[in-house]
Structure 1
Amino acid sequence: MRPVLRKVAALAAGVILLGGCHGGTHSSGATVIGLTYVPNVQFSGIYLALDNGNYSSHKLNVELRHHGNDEGVFTALVSGDEQVVLATGDEVVQARSQGMDVISVATYYREQPNVILTRKDTGIKTVGDLKGKKIGIPGEYGSSWLALQAYLASANMTTSDVNVMSIGYTQTSALSKGDVDAIVGFANNEAVQLSAAGVDAQAVECDCTIPLVSASLVTTPQWAKDHANELKELLAATQEGMTTAVEHPDQAFAATEKRDTTLSDEKTRETATKILTATNLLILGANSTVSLEQDTSRWNEMLSFMSSVSGLLQQDVLLDQVMTNDYVPRS
Structure 2
Amino acid sequence: MNRQNPLRTHKVCSGTFALLALLVCLFALPEAAEAGKTVRLALQWYPQTQFAGYYMAKEKGIYAEHGLDVEILHGDADSNSLQRVASGKADFGTAFLSAALEQRSRDIPLVNIAQIVQRSALMLVVRKDTGIKTIKDLNGARIGTWGNKFQLQPEALFRREHLRVRFVRQSPSLELFMRGGLDATLAMWYNEYHRLVAYGLNPDEMTPFFFSDLDLNQPEDGIYCLAATLESSPQTAAAMVQASVKGWEYAFAHPEETVDTLLDIMKQQKVRANRTHQRWMLARMQDIIAVEGRSRINTRLSPDDFANTWKALLQTEVITTDISYNDFYREPGQ
**TM-score bin, normalised by smaller chain:** 0.7 to 0.9
**Range with greater deviation from structure 2 (264-273 or 64-73):** 264-273
- Give, in angstroms, the shift of residue 75 of structure 1: 3.0
Q: Is 1:127 the equivalent of 2:135? A: yes
- Give, in angstroms, the shift of residue 71 of structure 1: 3.5
After superposition, the Cα gap between the structure-2 partners of 1:205 and 1:58, relative to the gap in structure 1 and judged at 3 Å, is closer
After superposition, the Cα gap between the structure-2 partners of 1:211 and 1:36, relative to the gap in structure 1 and judged at 3 Å, is closer
**Range with greater deviation from structure 2 (99-108 or 208-217):** 208-217
User: For residues 206-263 of structure 1, what are the alpha-carbon distances to aligned partners after superposition, in whole Å with 9 as ceiling and x for unaligned?
Assistant: 8433142311100011111111122112211111110111122112112212311089
The answer as to whether partners of 2:114 and 2:241 remain within 8 angstroms in 1 is yes
After superposition, the Cα gap between the structure-2 partners of 1:29 and 1:248, relative to the gap in structure 1 and judged at 3 Å, is closer
After superposition, the Cα gap between the structure-2 partners of 1:205 and 1:259, relative to the gap in structure 1 and judged at 3 Å, is closer
The answer as to whether partners of 1:125 and 1:205 remain within 8 angstroms in 2 is no
From 165, 179, 182, the counterpart of 2:181: 179
Pairwise mapping of residues 242-253 of structure 1 onto structure 2 (< 5 A)?
Answer: 242-253=248-259
State the alpha-carbon separation in 1 of the partners of residues 192 and 71 from structure 2: 30
Question: 2:81 maps to which residue?
Answer: 73
Structure number with greater Rg is: 2
Pairwise mapping of residues 13-32 of structure 1 onto structure 2 (< 5 A)?
Answer: 30-32=38-40
State the alpha-carbon separation in 2 of the partners of residues 264 and 303 from structure 1: 37
Question: 1:202 maps to which residue?
Answer: 207
From 94, 113, 116, the counterpart of 1:108: 116
Pairwise mapping of residues 1-331 of structure 1 onto structure 2 (< 5 A)?
Answer: 30-128=38-136, 130-132=137-139, 134-138=141-145, 141-147=148-154, 149-150=156-157, 153=160, 157-160=161-164, 164-170=165-171, 172-200=174-202, 201-204=206-209, 207-261=213-267, 268-289=274-295, 290-310=297-317, 312-327=318-333
Q: Comparing both structures, which one devotes a greater share of its residues to helix?
A: 2
After superposition, the Cα gap between the structure-2 partners of 1:37 and 1:149, relative to the gap in structure 1 and judged at 3 Å, is closer
State the alpha-carbon separation in 2 of the partners of residues 269 and 52 from structure 1: 21
**Range with greater deviation from structure 2 (67-76 or 301-310):** 67-76
- Give, in angstroms, the shift of residue 82 of structure 1: 1.5
Question: 2:12 maps to which residue?
Answer: none
User: For residues 263-288 of structure 1, what are the alpha-carbon distances to aligned partners after superposition, in whole Å with 9 as ceiling and x for unaligned?
Assistant: 99998222222222222222222354
Matching residue's letter, 1:299: F
The answer as to whether partners of 1:151 and 1:210 remain within 8 angstroms in 2 is no
**Equivalent residue of 2:40, what SS?**
strand
**Range with greater deviation from structure 2 (294-303 or 174-183):** 174-183
User: For residues 162-202 of structure 1, what are the alpha-carbon distances to aligned partners after superposition, in whole Å with 9 as ceiling and x for unaligned?
Assistant: xx122102483233222233222211222122112112323
State the alpha-carbon separation in 1 of the partners of residues 269 and 305 from structure 2: 36
**Equivalent residue of 2:166, what SS?**
strand
- Give, in angstroms, the shift of residue 29 of structure 1: 5.1
The answer as to whether partners of 1:116 and 1:182 remain within 8 angstroms in 2 is yes
- Give, in angstroms, the shift of residue 145 of structure 1: 4.4
Taking CA–CA contacts closer than 8 Å with sequence separation of 6 or more, which of the two structures ends up with the larger relative contact order? 1
**Equivalent residue of 1:286, what SS?**
helix
- Give, in angstroms, the shift of residue 80 of structure 1: 2.8
The answer as to whether partners of 1:118 and 1:182 remain within 8 angstroms in 2 is yes
**Equivalent residue of 1:213, what SS?**
coil
State the alpha-carbon separation in 1 of the partners of residues 58 and 149 from structure 2: 30
Counting aligned pairs with the same residue, the percent is 16
Aligned residues: 294
The answer as to whether partners of 2:142 and 2:168 remain within 8 angstroms in 1 is no
Please report the TM-score for the alignment, with normalisation by the length of structure 1.
Answer: 0.78
User: For residues 28-50 of structure 1, what are the alpha-carbon distances to aligned partners after superposition, in whole Å with 9 as ceiling and x for unaligned?
Assistant: 95111111332111111111111
- Give, in angstroms, the shift of residue 67 of structure 1: 4.5
Q: Structure 1: any 5+ residue segments left out of the alignment? A: 1-24
Please report the TM-score for the alignment, with normalisation by the length of structure 2.
Answer: 0.78
User: For residues 272-321 of structure 1, what are the alpha-carbon distances to aligned partners after superposition, in whole Å with 9 as ceiling and x for unaligned?
Assistant: 222222222222223544222221210011111111013x2253322233
Q: Structure 2: any 5+ residue segments left out of the alignment? A: 1-32
User: For residues 123-148 of structure 1, what are the alpha-carbon distances to aligned partners after superposition, in whole Å with 9 as ceiling and x for unaligned?
Assistant: 434334x2546241327844444235
